[in-house]
Amino acid sequence: MKLKTTLPPLLAAASQWPITHFTNPKSLPKTTLFPSEMPLQLDTYEQARARLTAWPEYEQSPLLASPELAKGLGIGEIFLKDETYRFGVGSFKALGGAYVVDSIVAADESARCFSTASAGNHGVGLAWGCKRLGAECHVFLHGGVPERQAEKMRDFGATVHRVSGNYEASVEECKRRSAEEQWQVVQDVSWEGYTQIPKDIFSGYTVLAGEVVEQLQEMRAQSPTHVFVNAGVGGLASAVCAHLWARYGADRPRLVCVEPAAADCLMYSARQGRMAEIPPPEYETVQVGLDCKVPTQLAWDVLETGATDFVSVGDEVVAPCIELLTALESPLLAGESAVAGLAAVVGATAQPEIAAALGLNSDSRVVVVICEGKVK
d(CA 92, CA 94): 6
Question: For residue 225, which of 66, 99, 345 has the smallest C-alpha distance?
Answer: 345
Compute φ and ψ for 20, nearest 5 degrees: -115, 135
User: What would the pLDDT profile of 111-144 be if each residue is shown by its tens digit?
Assistant: 999 999 998 899 999 999 999 999 999 999 998 8
Q: What is the pLDDT of residue 375?
A: 77
Q: 45-53: long-range contacts (C-beta < 8 A, 24 or more apart)?
A: 45/203, 45/206, 45/207, 45/210, 45/243, 45/246, 47/203, 48/95, 48/99, 48/200, 48/203, 48/204, 48/206, 48/207, 49/207, 49/210, 51/99, 51/102, 51/103, 52/95, 52/99, 52/204, 52/207, 53/207
Please say whether the structural domain 2-91+197-370 has been given the CATH code 3.40.50.1100. Answer: yes
State if pTM tops 0.85: yes
User: What would the pLDDT profile of 182-198 be if each residue is shown by its tens digit?
Assistant: 999 999 999 999 999 99
Residues of the chain with CATH 3.40.50.1100: 2-91+197-370, 97-187
d(CA 179, CA 190): 16
CATH of domain 97-187: 3.40.50.1100
Q: What is the pLDDT of residue 4?
A: 87
For β-strands 184-185 and 113-118, DSSP reports them as parallel
pLDDT 10s digit of each residue in the chain, 376 long? Answer: 589 889 999 999 999 999 999 999 999 999 999 999 999 999 999 999 999 999 999 999 999 999 999 999 999 999 999 999 999 999 999 999 999 999 999 999 999 999 999 988 999 999 999 999 999 999 999 988 889 999 999 999 999 999 999 888 999 999 999 999 999 999 999 999 999 999 999 999 999 999 999 999 999 999 999 999 999 999 999 999 999 999 999 999 999 999 999 999 999 999 999 999 999 888 889 998 999 899 999 999 999 999 999 999 999 999 999 999 999 988 999 999 999 999 999 999 999 999 999 999 999 999 999 999 997 7
